[in-house]
Amino acid sequence: MGDNGGDAVVVRPIVSPLPPEGLMTTTASTAPAVSTLLEGRKLLLAVLALAMGGFGIGTTEFTIMGLLQEGAADLGVRNQDMGLLISAYAIGVVVGAPVLTALGARVAKRTMVLWLMVFFTLANASSFIAPTYEVMVFTRFLSGLPHGAYFGLAAILAATLVPPTKRGRAIAWIMLGLAVANVIGVPLFTWLGQELGWRSMFLAVAVIGALTFVSIRTFVPFNPAHAEASIRRELTALKSGAVWLALFTGIVGFGGFFAVYAYISPILTDVTGLPIKVVPLVLGLYGLGMVVGNLVGGRLADWSVFGSLYVSMASLTIVMVIFGFVSPIPWLALIFVFVMGGVGSLLAPGLQSLLMDSAPKAQSLAASLNHSALNIANALGAALGAAVINAGLGYQAPAYVGAMLGFGGLVLALIAGLAHRRKLARAA
């Protein structure tokens, strides 16, 4: 494409060598023969447009947790009944990621991402007007359906905009929207819900969805769907042992992260001794750590996909053990809240890259399954954390559960790396 007077949209062939043993990067088999590479301001605007969708998704997923009491009063149910809204969303993510991605296999990725954002916008708008508790639960399930498919396809789109050596950083920027939502979106929209009514959060998220649609339509270039794309081709990802091993690695590893995150509020009040009013600010600190972790994780993934997994899992294990010991000391607890957010997000870009590489002919489905794994990890970590708390071991115990899960994730990552090296050796 020619120069339009600004930063040009450049079309270049991508030719990548076979990765050395133990180092997985984008290869000719995992990238299209020709990709639309963007540079400068055009690249920034395209990536920010895709990240905006992640911001809206992260905001609607997590803000509801801070508005449970307001929602319960409005719908006439108990606080604990509102937990079903969170579960319904998570189920939507797990179901929607593979189903919507497979159904849209023959649709160009930008077009599919645009339709997913339309679905997301309408689903949140329906939550705004839901007349009963039962309808609200259903609309929350609908809101979760496009979550995993959007992140998976947006990550692949971002990867096509940059050279293979910068793929991890591009993916990290898409995931960054989710992290920034925890820093800015959740506190802001929680306040908005408290001031203007809790339903106003859904309407505001719907507006973000509409703005995301316009931004992607304007700034993200169109690439046609692969000529051989089909539902059957995408489903081949489910036959890959490497994909399943990567998913179990993510479930176990991220489970360690969520074992603590699910109980961070009572840990900070009952163990650290902080007043409950300070908790939202500390969660913002957690979110800042997630932002830093995403950016560092992207660079690590560009250096080595497996190397980034080893570093993140080992770091998670060590940090969780330390946090278990220092959580009664306020200033150390605050430092390690930030660090925990960082090491938890450090894993995301590498795992997303590994899933894409594990199914080169079905990248869309493999990439979308990352967020199904995240939501299963959330349930796993929260359940195991609850088990040790209910056993009378106290609120420091989830940190040690998180450390054990982090170590389990490291073992699985090492197994996956060994299997990859053996595959390369056989190919050679």
**How do residues 203-243 score in pLDDT, each as one tens digit?**
999 999 999 999 999 999 887 766 666 677 777 777 778 88
User: In the structure, what pLDDT confidence band is assigned to residue 36 with cuts at 50, 70 and 90?
Assistant: low
pLDDT greater than 80 at residue 381: yes
Domain final residue pick, 194, 228, 262: 228
The label of the residue with tokens 């940190």 reads 399
Domain that holds residue 400: 230-428
Please tell me the total count of domains within the chain: 2
Mean pLDDT for 63-89 is 81
pLDDT of amino acid 176:
84
Looking at the fold, whether 171 and 239 belong to one and the same domain comes out as no
In a domain, 19, yes or no: no
- How many whole angstroms separate alpha carbon 108 and alpha carbon 110? 6
* Residue with more model confidence, 372 or 23: 372
Domain final residue pick, 169, 201, 228: 228
**How do residues 279-316 score in pLDDT, each as one tens digit?**
777 877 888 888 898 889 888 888 888 998 999 999 99
In a domain, 161, yes or no: yes
Of 78, 87, 398, 73, nearest to 260 (Cα)?
398
pLDDT of amino acid 77:
86
pLDDT of amino acid 313:
93
pLDDT greater than 50 at residue 25: no
Looking at the fold, whether 425 and 393 belong to one and the same domain comes out as yes
Of 328, 320, 380, nearest to 344 (Cα)?
320
* 112-121, 201-210, 324-333, 349-358: range with lowest mean pLDDT: 349-358
In a domain, 321, yes or no: yes
Q: What stretch of H or E contains 347? A: helix 330-358
- For the entire predicted model, the pTM comes to 0.75
Domain final residue pick, 228, 254, 272: 228
- List helix spans (H) across 181-329: 186-196, 200-219, 231-235, 241-261, 264-266, 279-303, 305-326
pLDDT of amino acid 56:
95
User: In the structure, what pLDDT confidence band is assigned to residue 4 with cuts at 50, 70 and 90?
Assistant: very low
User: Which residues lie closer than 8 Å to 45 by C-beta, 6 or more apart?
Assistant: 215, 219
Q: What's 368's domain CATH number? A: 1.20.1250.20
**How do residues 235-269 score in pLDDT, each as one tens digit?**
777 777 888 888 899 899 888 888 888 787 788 88
Q: Report yes or no: 276 and 264 within 8 Å, Cβ to Cβ.
A: no
Looking at the fold, whether 224 and 315 belong to one and the same domain comes out as no
Looking at the fold, whether 375 and 249 belong to one and the same domain comes out as yes
Token pair of 353, please? 């890259």
Looking at the fold, whether 48 and 187 belong to one and the same domain comes out as yes
Looking at the fold, whether 170 and 256 belong to one and the same domain comes out as no
Mean pLDDT for 4-26 is 39
User: In the structure, what pLDDT confidence band is assigned to residue 270 with cuts at 50, 70 and 90?
Assistant: confident
Looking at the fold, whether 90 and 121 belong to one and the same domain comes out as yes
- How many whole angstroms separate alpha carbon 163 and alpha carbon 364? 19
Looking at the fold, whether 71 and 155 belong to one and the same domain comes out as yes
Of 224, 103, 220, 159, nearest to 355 (Cα)?
159
Looking at the fold, whether 265 and 214 belong to one and the same domain comes out as no
Looking at the fold, whether 170 and 259 belong to one and the same domain comes out as no
pLDDT of amino acid 419:
87
Looking at the fold, whether 355 and 267 belong to one and the same domain comes out as yes
pLDDT of amino acid 264:
79
In a domain, 169, yes or no: yes
User: In the structure, what pLDDT confidence band is assigned to residue 133 with cuts at 50, 70 and 90?
Assistant: very high
**How do residues 415-426 score in pLDDT, each as one tens digit?**
989 988 888 888
| pLDDT above 70: percentage of residues in the chain | 89
Looking at the fold, whether 336 and 420 belong to one and the same domain comes out as yes
In a domain, 370, yes or no: yes
DSSP 159-222: HHTS-GGGHHHHHHHHHHHHHHIIIIIHHHHHHHHHHH-TTHHHHHHHHHHHHHHHHHHHHSPP
In a domain, 13, yes or no: no
pLDDT greater than 60 at residue 13: no
Q: Report yes or no: 246 and 352 within 8 Å, Cβ to Cβ.
A: no
* 31-45, 173-187, 218-232, 372-386: range with lowest mean pLDDT: 31-45
pLDDT of amino acid 212:
96
